[in-house]
Amino acid sequence: MTKFFIDQHGCAKNQVDGELVMARLLSLGYEQTFTPALADVIIVNSCGFIASAKKESLDAVYAAKRAYPDAKVVLAGCLAERYAETFRTALPEADAVFGNGDLSRIGDVVGNVLSGERTILVPEQKGICSGERTHFLSYRGAAYVKLTEGCSNRCTFCAIPLIRGAVRSRPEDDVIAEIQSLVARGVFEINLIGQDVAAYGTGIGDDVAGHGRAPLPAFSADGKNTGTQTQSALAHLLGRIACLSGDFRVRLLYIHPDHFNRDILPVIKDEPRIVPYFDIPFQSGADTVIRAMNRIGPAQEYIRLISDIRAALPDAVIRTTFLTGFPGETDSHAAETERFLAAIQSDWSGCFTYSREEDTPAYALKKRVPHKIAAARAATLQSIQADITAHRLAARIGAEYDVLVEEVSAGNDAESFAIARAWFQSPEVDGNVVVRYAADDTEARRALRAGRVVHVRVDAVTGVDLDAHFVCDSALHPRGERPDVSPLFFAPEASA
């Protein structure tokens, strides 16, 4: 049987694409392997967002062709979408180049390369690729669900609109059906994603609920139309999710600060399964830089937004992202961003240095910042965040939480441990909860399995992680086996 191997790169949205590619090939009778040496076809599902990610994806293609010369190498994903014509001649190491506009066409591409035909296929960016995913490139019990594709914000530094086009949204019924299917199959944590989920329902031609693009009727707690107010499409969707039955939690990721839907706050307040976790990429705290990025701001309004969120939801957790070294950023601007970070006291944040991307408006801007200075500014922000994170995590010592188990270690003769996540920890980017238990504790050993939810008490902070001890099987789930989605685990060490 013909075997394929996926070398996965990039963000959560690209991960969903990789899972759809897997599902399509499996449905066509191909077999998946996690050992690249056994693969007939190696698919590099690439990232094309910034220079370092592009290099990593290209290096993966070169390494795969060098290490496995008998395998066919397919470059897929964002890098393929962005530079397909360039790679037609400049990347002979790729036996095929496949864009991400219509992932259902992966079977055509693989069939062609196995027949000896080099294929360059970039389907039109139209609609949203979706469908049944049978296996997942994530830990057991959690999955990403894509709400939107593309982006219309046109931040001057960002190539996403060039790669994935303008924003368009999935119909509500499609999203609801997928969530119901995942929960029925044992997925506990649903992470709703898009380049900007605040833009859900705002794309040209979007009609997510069958009402056109007019404001949508609000749902009451019992799922009935109140007939007295209207909501954004995102709030309306969350209202429908709140009406679903089952044990699960939902997290929103990536909300542009200029479009934050404040009407989602009361929905989240009334529905404990939708956790008050907000990933809001501010990028800068200096008004001059914010405007140069084609964002509205100002920074003071962003600070007010965080204040409003925490006033409505006192337990709210904030994650953000900063970009340092944007053209024209001065030491004074960098200091403004440092003060901004100190003001918002985000629980988590990431930082990356500016990458000069061709065809973006910022590409032609003058007053470029040397990489060494941009990196130093990023390090300063990360140091400030480390102190804030340590302080905010320390406040959780002594508290008890339901956590989703990702991995279990045998430990030693006296003590074992598991790696888990609480609601305030997003997969991959935040810290974890290290759950410790006695090696001879039969109840803990029975309960602590990947994909299960258990109840723990926090004992200490270790870096960005929390140390905790097992209390009991979570009240959310009775003892016994949860439905098993049997996700496949992505093993970075097994990359091509």
Q: What are phi and psi of 80, to 5 degrees?
A: -65, -40
DSSP 3-state of 145: strand
DSSP 3-state of 466: strand
**Residues near 376 by beta carbon (within 8 Å), at least 6 away in sequence:** none
* Among 327, 338, 361, CA closest to 284: 338
Token pair of 57 as six digits: 């994806």
C-beta of residue 80 within 8 angstroms of C-beta of residue 100: yes
Residues of the chain with pLDDT under 70: 211-229, 411-412, 475-496
Q: Are strands 225-231 and 453-462 parallel, antiparallel or unpaired?
A: unpaired
According to the model, what pLDDT value does residue 99 have? 93
Of the chain, the end-to-end C-alpha distance in Å amounts to 20
Q: Are strands 31-32 and 3-8 parallel, antiparallel or unpaired?
A: parallel
According to the model, what pLDDT value does residue 229 have? 61
C-beta of residue 439 within 8 angstroms of C-beta of residue 414: yes
According to the model, what pLDDT value does residue 213 have? 57
According to the model, what pLDDT value does residue 477 have? 45
C-beta of residue 266 within 8 angstroms of C-beta of residue 252: no
CA 274 to chain centre: 16
Q: What are phi and psi of 360, to 5 degrees?
A: -95, 150
* Among 285, 282, 288, CA closest to 321: 282
- Cα 118 from Cα 120, distance rounded (Å): 7
According to the model, what pLDDT value does residue 138 have? 87
Q: Are strands 400-409 and 348-353 parallel, antiparallel or unpaired?
A: unpaired
Q: What are phi and psi of 231, to 5 degrees?
A: -135, 160
Q: For the chain, how many residues are written? A: 496
C-beta of residue 42 within 8 angstroms of C-beta of residue 73: yes
* Among 35, 10, 29, 8, CA closest to 19: 8
R_g of the chain computed on alpha carbons: 23
Query: What order of strands is seen across the sheet that includes strand 249-252?
Result: 142-146, 189-193, 249-252
Question: pTM of the predicted model, to two decimals?
Answer: 0.90
According to the model, what pLDDT value does residue 65 have? 95
According to the model, what pLDDT value does residue 82 have? 92
According to the model, what pLDDT value does residue 383 have? 97
According to the model, what pLDDT value does residue 135 have? 87
